[in-house]
Chains A and B, each alone.
Chain A
């Protein structure tokens, strides 16, 4: 804007110090005391307006947003910490449950083993008893058979002896003597 005036005014070749506003300014415009009051007045107005905007609207708003964010972040951190704690607790509970389950399983296995052992013992005892009974029966049967066999042998021996005696010396066979002889011979058997 200054350059436009520069070209138009330069043609006239007139620099009027009284109307420096519209022409080339001689020296520094910053040092013109005529303009100080104007600038200071508008500066004060500007600063007051900016101050009011900042103090009443902008700064409280930004401060509240920042503190809300800080709160939100610290809340999130807290809840994250709580969740982490929960996760640790859950892991502990899981491990405990696992250990309990293992212990219980071990117990059940031990109980089952004991039960089986007991049943087995009972069965073995019963079997032993049966075996013993059977053995006793068999012994009795063997004893009877043996007795029967001895009697049969005695009878056969008596009969054989009687028949032999009757053949050798008929009429000489005395039943009583034969029986006694056989009995005396069989004593060793």
Chain B
């Protein structure tokens, strides 16, 4: 099998393999890996964009300060529009998620980089954190009234139990779709680029079509990375709104 592959080396999933940064030992829970490295670079990017960019604190902002302010205003408005004024209390948490996801996604587009958000372990952790947080918050804020989220009072009485079952199922499916959507999008785009790259490598000079394909998919991926970060964040806001205002 490997002998066949040697002529035509396309291993689109190899880019997602977790490797220790130092040596070739086992990966323990604390081992610094390529995931650690790229998460660290994400943190540095956050510092560069939001801390270094705003150090001028100018009334008339510089370009970098403008970027930081735009991102701030964008997420702030999203939280306020969707979750209301009460939701703004949780704005730093949502901003944390957005900054991590959008920068991890975009950094993942650098050649030879590792996309931390293409791993279901990462996105599922965030999605579960959001799910548990909003569920506990819903019960804490509303008590058992939170269950009215599943009781569609605008529907005819006969339909309500059936709708309740559907609502409950859809509620518990939320973290699954929330996490798989992001990881799947990241993985698929990168894998497609890698497949095209494999074709290009096999064709050598004259690989115009695969390279054009890479360019096209890369452009699409630029969109997808930011849109998926936006989708993850806006869904978090929607779930938060359900916890704060559970009237259906």
Contact = CB atoms under 8 A, between A and B. Distances in A.
B124 to A, nearest CB: 9
A2 interface: yes
A86 B93 CA distance: 49
Report the contact-size class of chain A (Cβ under 8 Å from the partner): 35 or more
Contacts of A11: 6
Contact of B24 (A10, A21, A59): A21
A21 B9 CA distance: 17
A65 B29 CA distance: 40
Contacts of A72: 59
Contacts, number: 175
3 nearest A-B residue pairs (beta carbon): A2-B14, A58-B50, A37-B29
Nearest to B114: A1
A46 B13 contact: no
A129 to B, nearest CB: 87
B2 A50 contact: no
Interface of B: 1-3, 5-6, 9, 11, 13-20, 24, 26-31, 33, 35-36, 39-40, 42-43, 46-47, 50-51, 54, 57-59, 61, 65, 68-69, 72-73, 91-93, 95-97, 99-100, 112, 116, 118-122, 125-126, 183, 187, 197, 201
A25 B13 CA distance: 7
Tell me the dominant secondary structure on chain B's binding face: helix
B29 A41 contact: yes
A46 B11 contact: no
16 contacts: A1-B112, A2-B17, A21-B17, A21-B24, A27-B13, A29-B17, A30-B187, A35-B27, A35-B33, A38-B28, A39-B122, A42-B33, A42-B35, A46-B100, A54-B50, A54-B95
B62 to A, nearest CB: 11
A142 interface: no
B183 to A, nearest CB: 7
Interface string A46-84: 110111011101110111111011001000000000000
Nearest to B57: A65
Given A49-B43, A53-B51, A29 B16 contact: yes
B92 A5 contact: no
Nearest to B61: A65
Best-surrounded residue of A25, A37, A62, A65 (most CB of chain B within 10 A): A62
B134 to A, nearest CB: 16
Interface stretch (A12-20, A88-96, A157-165): A12-20
Contacts of A21: 17-20, 24, 27
Contacts of B2: 10, 12-15, 24
B11 A38 contact: no
A146 B125 CA distance: 149
B141 to A, nearest CB: 21
Interface of A: 1-3, 5-7, 10-15, 19-22, 24-25, 27-32, 34-47, 49-51, 53-55, 57-59, 61-66, 68-69, 72
Given A10-B2, A50-B100, A59-B50, 10 more contacts: A10-B5, A10-B9, A15-B1, A25-B14, A39-B35, A39-B125, A44-B125, A54-B50, A54-B95, A66-B69
Given A14-B2, A62-B68, A40 B125 contact: yes
Contacts of A14: 2
Contact of A6 (B11, B43, B68, B93): B11
B118 to A, nearest CB: 7
A96 to B, nearest CB: 40
Contacts of B28: 37-38
B96 A50 contact: yes
Contacts of A44: 125
A68 to B, nearest CB: 6
